[in-house]
């Protein structure tokens, strides 16, 4: 299904769509308020963008520096070219430990690599320990948002799900009660897991340490109880120096949820005596994106989700409408790099309003890249574009008004354009919208009559 089809489906439940829009707008509004409490906010964004540009320009060097320092600290460093290699490496470590039950804190990278189904196929029980992620895992759904994985679900739906899975009281929707039930359930899983998997928010080249940010402390709980910690990190998550965190940690949570800082920002540097830390550095299409000049700086992304919260399309179509691990504006410029054909409708799922670019804490020019991806999609004639041009050519002869207008424009002017593209819209335009009243003369005609 294309984005427009999914969006239309989402909007059919108009009450829920309205709720979804308002809930995310609330988060965006919170972000606005907290960011305006920092006088140097725009300077911070500029700094963060500059640091990330430097990282992308020297990525290989920083990665090797990170590997050297991490190894010195006793961390075992692995490299994965793609998701298959990443998944295989994780499984190998688990098999070495004879581990068949693992806890995992939030990691978009492991979603991107589809690690859970892979491990389950190989007999490993994976439990997502972030509350939102556990909820969607119970439902066999992917997260619908990278920071708020279960934002598409209402309290009542979660209450019903917990009643079924965790035997909570039927109809009890009290968030504190439901969260407590999840805590008890997850506590058992934490105690049983020999290995804990986490994502990585920032890897520090200078020190070989890495930082994991969570609000629930679930990464720490998992890691400290387990014998082995596997951290999965996209290669673009590197920062040169520890002091750079002073910029990024101030931006991350404020942009994501409007909090001054995430509750837990945990630094992992060396394994405790007798324990192991593994870090897997994953490419999976990132160097290919780095080589695309127009799209390179999409790799600056720190996965805060602000562009989703602000996007008028995301808020009204939901995360699943994008059919990609990272939804919303940033997903729509990352995903076409992974599979242009599959994601060809995503660059068009935008009015190019530019709000995403202005909330982005690392100043990715998201809407300009959406525009550039459109040019790429039409070049390769992805399915979406083909459908569009056919519809256009078809539509023009169906509406006499469209024909008349495009005819007059065609004659006068748009000699070099496939005119059909411009005035086809009148057909669909009229489904839920009136056309303007056609005036008796155009401005050109009026001008000729009255002024020349």
Q: Please report, as residue ranges, which positions from 32 to 71 form the binding site for another protein (by CB under 8 A).
A: 32, 35-36, 38-39, 41-42
3 or 152: CB nearest another protein: 3
| Residue whose CB is less far from another protein, 74 or 312 | 312
Contact region with another protein (CB under 8 A), list: 124-132, 155-163, 219-227, 437-445: 437-445
Residue 267 beta carbon to another protein: minimum distance, rounded to whole angstroms: 29
164 interacts with another protein by CB under 8 A: no
Question: Which one among 171, 273, 274, 439 touches another protein, defined by CB under 8 A?
Answer: 439
CB of 118 vs another protein, minimal distance in Å: 34
Q: Which of 25, 79, 138, 403 binds another protein (CB under 8 A)?
A: 25
**Tokens at 88, concatenated:** 């295989």
Strands 209-214 and 202-204: antiparallel
Q: For residue 359, what are its two tokens? A: 């909330």
Nearer residue to another protein within complex by CB, 247 or 385: 385
CB of 222 to another protein, least distance (A): 35
Asked if 211 and 201 touch (Cβ cutoff 8 Å), the reply is yes
Interface with another protein in residues 306-365 (CB under 8 A) = 310, 312-313, 316-317, 347-355, 357-359
Query: From the CB of 351, what's the least distance to another protein, in Å?
Result: 3
Residues whose CB is less than 8 angstroms from the CB of residue 194 and which lie 6 or more positions away in sequence, other chains included: 97, 98, 99, 101, 102, 226, 227, 228
Question: Which residues inside 416-435 make contact with another protein, applying CB under 8 A?
Answer: 416-418, 421-422, 424-425, 427-429, 431-435
Which of 291/428 has CB closer to another protein?
A: 428
Q: For 285, phi and psi rounded to 5 degrees?
A: 90, -5
Of the candidates 223, 317, 236, the one whose C-alpha atom is nearest the C-alpha of residue 16 is 317
CB of 336 to another protein, least distance (A): 12
Residue 148 carries which DSSP code? S
Q: Which residues 372-401 are close enough to bind another protein by CB under 8 A?
A: 374-379, 385, 388
Is the separation of the CB atoms in 406 and 419 below 8 Å?
yes
Residues 175-194 that bind another protein (CB under 8 A): none
- Of residues 162 and 248, the one with the C-beta less far from another protein: 248
In contact, 115 and 280? CB cutoff 8 Å: no
Q: Which is nearer to another protein, 181 or 360 (CB)?
A: 360
In the complex, minimum distance from the CB of residue 37 to another protein, in angstroms, rounded to a whole number:
9
Secondary structure class of 311 (helix, strand, coil): coil
Residues 5-24 that bind another protein (CB under 8 A): 7-8, 11, 17, 21
- Phi and psi at residue 216, to the nearest 5°: -100, -10
The residue (of 35 and 323) whose beta carbon lies closer to another protein is 35
For residue 58, what is the DSSP state?
Answer: T
Q: Which of 212, 205, 230 is nearest to 280 (CA)?
A: 230
**Least distance from C-beta 445 to another protein, angstroms?**
8
Per rule CB under 8 A, is residue 407 in the interface with another protein?
A: no
Q: Is 23 exposed, middle or buried (0-12, 13-18, 19+ CB in 10 A)?
A: middle
* Look-up of token digits 């990352």: 334
Size of the site for another protein (CB under 8 A): 76
- What minimum distance in Å lies between the beta carbon of 157 and another protein? 22
For residue 425 the two structure tokens come to: 């819209």
Q: What is the DSSP letter of 266?
A: E
Rank residues 180 and 412 by Cβ distance to another protein and give the closer one: 412
Residue 108 makes CB contacts below 8 A (sequence gap 6+) with: 143, 146, 199, 303, 325, 326
Q: Which is nearer to another protein, 272 or 408 (CB)?
A: 408
CA 5, distance to chain mean position in Å, is 20
Alpha-carbon span 341 to 317, nearest angstrom:
21
Q: Write down the least CB distance from residue 439 to another protein, Å.
A: 5
Write out the binding residues for another protein, residues 227-286 only, by CB under 8 A. Answer: none
> What is the distance between the alpha carbons of residues 309 and 272, in angstroms, rounded to a whole number?
39
Of the two residues 53 and 378, which places its CB atom closer to another protein in the complex?
378
Residue 258 Cβ, how far from another protein at the closest point, in Å?
13
* Shortest reach from residue 327's CB to another protein, in Å: 14
What are 272's two structure tokens?
Answer: 């405790």
| CB-nearer residue toward another protein: 152 or 229 | 152
Please tell me the distance from the alpha carbon of residue 205 to that of residue 69, in angstroms, as a whole number.
7
409 in contact with another protein (CB under 8 A): yes
Instruction: Provide DSSP, 136-158.
Output: HHHTT---SSSSSTTTTS-HHHH
């Amino acid at each position: 299904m294309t984005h427009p089809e999914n969006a239309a489906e989402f909007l059919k439940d108009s009450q829920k769509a309205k709720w979804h829009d308002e809930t995310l707008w609330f988060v965006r509004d919170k972000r606005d308020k907290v960011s305006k409490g920092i006088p140097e906010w725009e300077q911070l964004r500029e700094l963060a963008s500059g640091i990330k540009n430097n990282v992308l320009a020297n990525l290989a060097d920083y990665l090797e520096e990170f590997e050297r320092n991490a190894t010195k600290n006793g961390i075992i460093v692995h490299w994965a070219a793609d998701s298959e290699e990443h998944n295989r490496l994780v499984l190998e470590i688990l098999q070495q430990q004879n581990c068949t039950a693992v806890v995992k804190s939030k990691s978009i990278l492991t979603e991107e690599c589809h690690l859970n189904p892979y491990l389950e196929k190989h007999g490993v029980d994976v439990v997502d320990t972030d509350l939102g992620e556990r909820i969607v895992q119970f439902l066999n759904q992917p997260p619908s948002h990278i920071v708020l994985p279960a934002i598409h679900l209402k309290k009542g739906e979660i209450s019903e799900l917990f009643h079924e899975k965790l035997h909570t009281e039927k109809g009890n929707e009290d968030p504190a009660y439901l969260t407590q039930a999840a805590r008890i359930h997850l506590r058992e899983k934490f105690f049983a897991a020999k290995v804990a998997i986490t994502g990585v928010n920032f890897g520090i080249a200078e020190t070989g340490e890495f930082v994991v940010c969570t609000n629930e402390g679930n990464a720490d709980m998992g890691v400290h109880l387990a014998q082995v910690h596997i951290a999965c990190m996209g290669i673009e998550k590197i920062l040169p120096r520890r002091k750079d965190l002073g910029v990024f940690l101030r931006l991350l949570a404020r942009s994501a949820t409007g909090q001054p800082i995430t509750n837990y920002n945990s630094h992992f540097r060396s394994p405790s005596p007798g324990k192991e830390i593994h870090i897997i550095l994953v490419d999976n299409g990132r160097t290919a994106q780095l080589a695309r000049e127009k799209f390179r700086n999409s790799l600056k992304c720190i996965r805060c989700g602000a562009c989703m919260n602000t996007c008028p399309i995301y808020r009204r179509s939901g995360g699943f409408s994008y059919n990609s691990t990272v939804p919303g504006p940033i997903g729509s410029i990352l995903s076409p790099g992974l599979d242009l054909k599959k994601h060809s409708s995503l660059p068009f799922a935008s009015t190019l309003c530019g709000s995403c670019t202005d909330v982005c804490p690392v100043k990715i020019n998201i809407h300009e890249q959406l525009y550039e991806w459109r040019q790429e999609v039409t070049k390769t004639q992805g399915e979406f574009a083909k459908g569009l041009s056919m519809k256009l050519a078809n539509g023009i002869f169906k509406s006499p008004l469209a024909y008349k207008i495009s005819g007059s424009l065609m004659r006068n002017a748009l000699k070099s354009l496939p005119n059909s593209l411009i005035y086809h819209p009148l057909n669909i335009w009229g489904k839920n919208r009136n056309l303007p009243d056609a005036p008796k003369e155009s401005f050109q005609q009026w001008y000729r009559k009255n002024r020349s």
